[in-house]
Structure 1
């Protein structure tokens, strides 16, 4: 089909027709897929309710427990870090001064 031969109204009509055909085929594909799924369920003797409850993950239970600090500044006990996530500025400064992270381990 040579689109350059169509006028503006013809192009708009073509777009409408194409959109309608896409919706129709999408509906057909979904129906076909649903039939295949139902056939598989019947073939294997599965229960659709059982599948629905097993496939949904349960939400995480509550909030996470706080993690104990793994590192503490030797001069300022209020500065601590669990070792998870981004290093706090005081740890970066400590490491930049040439000292080892192991020096900060809580024993």
Structure 2
């Protein structure tokens, strides 16, 4: 801990110190991240890579959205891909004697 004699400072100096400390605290995490990023870039460069090349290679791949196979008969914007739990409107239609082909797109 730094030992500072605050009693030797004027009110204006204390208020300026208070403002400076508040700013420093507010930006502390951003400065830590910047230092960590710079260190990681230096290590990547040491091995002949750019940090962005290494990060992009480990990004999770997004699964494509399955194509809709069935459409609600009264509300065409409501669809179902045939995967997962059957929507209520499909279950109701099947209970009423319809087949999945009746809902096919």
Common topology (TM > 0.5): no
Which bin holds the TM-score, normalised by the shorter protein?
A: 0.3 to 0.5
Q: What TM-score, normalized to structure 2? A: 0.42
Q: What TM-score, normalized to structure 1? A: 0.41
